Every structure is written in structure tokens, then in C-alpha cells.
Structure 1
Amino acid sequence: MSSTTERNEKKPLAILTEDPVSWKGQSLVSVAQITPKGFELLVTISQQMRDIVRSEGGDDRLKHKVLATIFYEASTRTSCSFQAAMSRLGGTFIHVDGQGNSSAAKKKESLEDTIKCLECYVDAIVLRHPETGSVPKVVLSTTKPVLNAGDGIGEHPTQALLDSFTIWDELKDDPKIVVFLGDLKHGRTVHSLAKLLSQLRPQSKLILRFCSPQILSIPDSILEYCKNNGVQYEIFEDATKACQDAQILYVTRIQKERFETEEAYESVKGCYVVDNALMDKVPKNMIVLHPLPRVDEIATEVDADPRAAYFRQMENGMYVRMAILALVLGKSSP
């Protein structure tokens, strides 16, 4: 008989479709799991969650359910929005700071053992870890749903889903040109969103434009993913030129923590700044998004521009994560 480990190594990731049953009890590791119809289902439930929060504050569909949020890297928006989402649906959460002195990681406990212990207490797990591929590896040996909140420079699927929801919600239509600006080499939010957009609209007229310094260019694997889905892409270094005729500008910070030396970071720090001067040169209806936190890549003066949607984007994050939690815990209906 095969061992549990041998069986788990063959465990495939679920494909998440328009059937809520396909989501129940499943981990969300990669945007590759999301079908176009599955995304439509998520949009519908996210809209319902927004209506519920705005009218009633939430409901009790996840009463007596417990979520673990485990973060080995710093997080404000992702951890808090998941915690708020669980609370809005009547559930509770326990939070583990994997960097803190109270974490068993300080005693050299393996990530796999930490997760195996915590799944004894909870119904689902949200995990962020600095090692690329760590979350997919953990999922092989878990029995409870694990939601990938970022694995190194790999993926951040729930961010990509809330970004896509925001794009749809702002435009009320499919985008034709989306510009990614900033640190495209290390930006897992960019990697996930570019993949998700290309698979949601395969063989479409969508154009993805990647604008960055050469040393922070988008990985070839992402370009290949777009190509395989029949989505056109273009490479730029000039932000103004990249934004011409665009509907969406997706800005990312230069991720200092990913650089090997201070000198390498300083060479590209502040290379792009979205300010009122730039906004005067771009399309009048171009929406600006950012996964946050920002450093100096979007001037605060832009916050007053109605095209600045990044705080609306953050609010949408709670609704989308409410929908994800309800789906994976089998409570998409009250």
C-alpha cells in the first residue's frame, strides 16, 4: 500500500468552476485553478457580499468556523481583510505571526509541522511565506483548505481575484489594454494578475503592457503564459508611452526586500512616479490600481483623482475574500 506522502504527492489542485461544489473543501494555490465561469461565480457572490455588508454588516453563515491566518512575511491588507471577512460572516480567526518570537518557527519547527498542528484546530488556513513554492508544497500534506496569501515571488491568487473583480467593477466591461508598471520581476501580484487576465480572456484582443527598468522586467515564464493563451503583450520602459489608450494602470512598488544589495535597490528607486503631471498625459478614463503598500511610486496628490481606485480596490478585497471563504467552506448561500 502507498504511504500517505506518496498519495499526497499525486494530489492535483482542484479546478474551480461555476459549480460551488468544485470549490468546497479545496485549496486555492494558483490562478491557474480558476476557470472563466468560476470567476463569474466569484464575481456574483462578491457582489452579494458587498450588498450584505452595506445593508446588514454581514451574516452568520460561518458561525462556529475558525480560520487561521499564518504570515511569515509582513502583511496588513491581506491578513486584516481575511480576518474581517471571516468576522463579517460570523466566524472567528486565530493569527500566527511567523516572524514573531512567539512562533514555533523560532524553535526551528518546519512549516509543514506548523500547518499540520494548526489544521487540528481550524477549518481553513491562509498562508504567506517568503519561499516560492512553499504553499503548493504544504498543500500536498494538508487535509484542510489552504489559501495562498503569497509565496515568495510566486503567486498571490486572492489578490489577483480582487484585482480582476475591481477591473470589472470599475469598467463594467472587459479591458482592452492593461499596463503593469514598476517592479515586474519580483511582483507576485503582477505575475498572478497577468496570468489570470490571460486565461480569463484567451484568444481575445486584450493587450498586456509591461513597463519597467530592464533589471526589473517581467519573467519570461509569464510572457510565455500569455503567449500560450493567445494574449498579446508589449514591453515598455517609458510610462507615458505605455499608458496611451490604456484602460487600466496597475502600479507596483519597487520591492526593496527582494534586492540582494542596497546599491541595486538605489539604482532603480523612484524610477517611476505617478503624479498629477503624468495623469494629465494619460487617458481621461484610465483607472489606476495598486496592491499597496505604496512608497513613493504614487504621489498622494493623485488620491483625489476619481481615476484613483486603489482604496476602492482594497475595500473590494474584503468582499472577494468573504466570497472565497464562503465557497471553500461550503456556505456560498446563507
Structure 2
Amino acid sequence: MLKGKHLIGPRDFTLEELDEILNLAHLIIENPKEYSKVCEGKLLAALFYEPSTRTRLSFEAAMHRLGGSVIGFSEANSSSTAKGETLEDTIEVVSNYSDIIAIRHPESGTAERAKKHSSVPIINAGDGSNEHPTQTLTDLLTIKLLKGSFNNNVIALCGDLKFGRTVHSLIKAMSRYENNKFILISPNELKLPDYIKKEFLIENNIEFIETTSLEEGLKHADILYMTRVQGERFEKYEEYLSLRDSYILNREKLNLAKEDMIVMHPLPRVNEIQTDVDDDPRASYFRQAKYGMYVRMALIAKLLGCV
């Protein structure tokens, strides 16, 4: 039973529980009207201390489409944080008003802190460069629907692998399935942190290579996961400027890839995927964003016990 559980990281749920959520999301996609009132009377608090478009709006759309309601804020300055209120106090109060809380914060570890002060389920909607588990659920649903299996994939991850919480969470999730291999494409300055390589790849005997070449990685990938270089994570803006256009996927480069490869991106994109890729059948990032709403519907419904 998932009712009442928190989601802080993608490994909080067993593979069976993940399947339960993904299968429900698929059912909702096929028959959304059947689920349009299952959470009627329930209230989601969306506490977004960091700017967001897709994640925040998909949470709000998900709750409304389930028949529930939403309260919250979209930036820290519009909350009592601006007056000096602690995260812990905010959670203590808001959990008295709501049935479930989605929280996004620029500092790593905040969702884990919030969990300890909440009387209702906490969903981590992204905490710093740490985790983004609902994006991972979105990614898993996309892979399930477009590739058919979580096993036997070559997954190329490109761009900001150092700060990219979506990358960190996806590696942690896909390392649980059989015979997956990883191609890690990044500048030397943005390589995947050693602790993730050690704990989730090396210690699990999962094959991976590191390269600075997008073209080389493209040739072998079943899934290409592009990411933007995140300017907000850099202390020196000049360093960001020197790295932001390290990788740019265009139609010419895509010609090097397999015909059945899929291109994913957590969005927003900046310049790392050119618009001439958008009408290629392998471009999956806008479908991926749509799936995000459905998988959050399934997650909310399960954690609240609505289905």
C-alpha cells in the first residue's frame, strides 16, 4: 500500500510499487474521465521555493484533473520565508491545512527535512542538485511507453551531469533494472559526481563509459537524455557561459543515431536541442512533459488512497 507514504527519492519505492504507479498512469491516459473525481475534496499544497513551470503546473493540473484543489506559492518571496520563517515551521503549519504537500527548494536535503515535520505525505518536487523523483517517474513512464522495457537499454546522458538532479535520479532508478548500460557525455567540468558512479554503477557492476563526444555517444544509444547546463547552479557566471553550449543536438547529428532511439529532455531547453529536431519521430520531450501530468495524477491518487 502506498497510501500515506512520502516520496523523497526514486528508491523510496520498491520496483513493484513503481509498477503500480506507472500502470495506473497508463490507465489514466487511456480513460481520464474515469479518474476525474477520485480525489474530490482533497487538497494539495504546492510549496515552490524555486522557479518552475512544468513541474508546478503539472502538479496543479494533476490535482485539478483528479477533482481536488490546490493551495500554495510559486516563489519564496511570496511566503513567510521572506519574514524569516523556517522551513520546518512552514511544513508544520501547512500540513495542518492540506492532505498532501509537493515541495521544491534550491537546497539539497530540504525534502528529507520537511518529511520529519509533516503529518501528511511529502512529495519532493526537486531539491537543489540532489533528487527529482517525480521527473524520474515521468522518465520511466516515457521509457515504458516508447521503448517497452526498462531492461537491456543503452542510455546516453548528455550535458550537465554534475548538477543535474534529473540525471542523478534517473541513474539511481535505471540501475535497478537488468542489463542497462550508460554513456556519460559531459565536459570534464560537469562530470557525474564520483559518489554516484561508485554507489550506483561501479558497486552494481553496471557497464558505463565517460566521453566528451556527443557524436560518439549517439551512435550506440537506445535513449538519449539531453540536459541543459544550469546557470543557476554556478557560483561564477563566466564559467557557465563557457560551458552552456558544450553540446547542441541538431538534425545532422541525429542522423548518426539509431532509427528507434528516443530523445528525452526534462525541459526547459535553452540551446542544447535545436528546433529542427522537433519534428523527428525520435523527439520525445514534449510527449514526456505530457506524461508527467499523468504520472503525477497516479502518484497523488496512490499516496492519498483515492484509488
Range of TM-score over shorter length? over 0.9
Tell me, in whole angstroms, the C-alpha distance in 2 between the residues paired with 1:103 and 1:173: 43
The within-5 A match list for 1:8-157 is 21=1, 23-53=2-32, 56=33, 58-100=35-77, 102-157=78-133
Moved more, 183-192 or 40-49: 40-49
1:80-121 deviation per Cα after TM superposition (whole angstroms, max 9, x unaligned): 111111011110001212333x31011010011111111111
Q: Share of identical aligned residues, percent? A: 40
Unaligned runs of 5+ in 2: none
Shift of residue 234 of structure 1? Answer: 1.3
1:269 is aligned to: 244
1:49 counterpart SS class: helix
1:13 is aligned to: none
Does the CA-based 8 Å contact 1:57-1:88 persist in structure 2? no
The within-5 A match list for 1:184-333 is 184-199=161-176, 201=177, 204-224=178-198, 225-332=200-307
| C-alpha RMSD of the superposition | 1.2
1:277-334 deviation per Cα after TM superposition (whole angstroms, max 9, x unaligned): 11111111110000000000000111110100000000100110000001100122xx
Q: Residue type matched to 2:53 in 1?
A: T
1:23-53 deviation per Cα after TM superposition (whole angstroms, max 9, x unaligned): 1111100112122212211121011111222
Total equivalences in the alignment: 305
Tell me, in whole angstroms, the C-alpha distance in 2 between the residues paired with 1:184 and 1:222: 10
Tell me, in whole angstroms, the C-alpha distance in 2 between the residues paired with 1:187 and 1:162: 16
1:158 counterpart SS class: helix
Shift of residue 206 of structure 1? Answer: 1.0
Q: Residue type matched to 1:51 in 2?
A: E
Q: Residue type matched to 2:91 in 1?
A: I
Q: Residue type matched to 2:17 in 1?
A: G
Q: Residue type matched to 1:218 in 2?
A: L
Unaligned runs of 5+ in 1: 1-20
2:111 counterpart SS class: helix
Residues 293, 263 of structure 1: alpha-carbon distance in 2 compared, 3 angstrom cutoff: same
Does the CA-based 8 Å contact 1:81-1:317 persist in structure 2? yes
Shift of residue 57 of structure 1? Answer: 7.8
Shift of residue 269 of structure 1? Answer: 1.7
1:50-69 deviation per Cα after TM superposition (whole angstroms, max 9, x unaligned): 1222xx38421101000000
Moved more, 181-190 or 131-140: 131-140
Tell me, in whole angstroms, the C-alpha distance in 1 between the residues paired with 2:226 and 2:192: 13
Residues 187, 162 of structure 1: alpha-carbon distance in 2 compared, 3 angstrom cutoff: same
Residues 230, 34 of structure 1: alpha-carbon distance in 2 compared, 3 angstrom cutoff: farther
Does the CA-based 8 Å contact 1:98-1:105 persist in structure 2? no
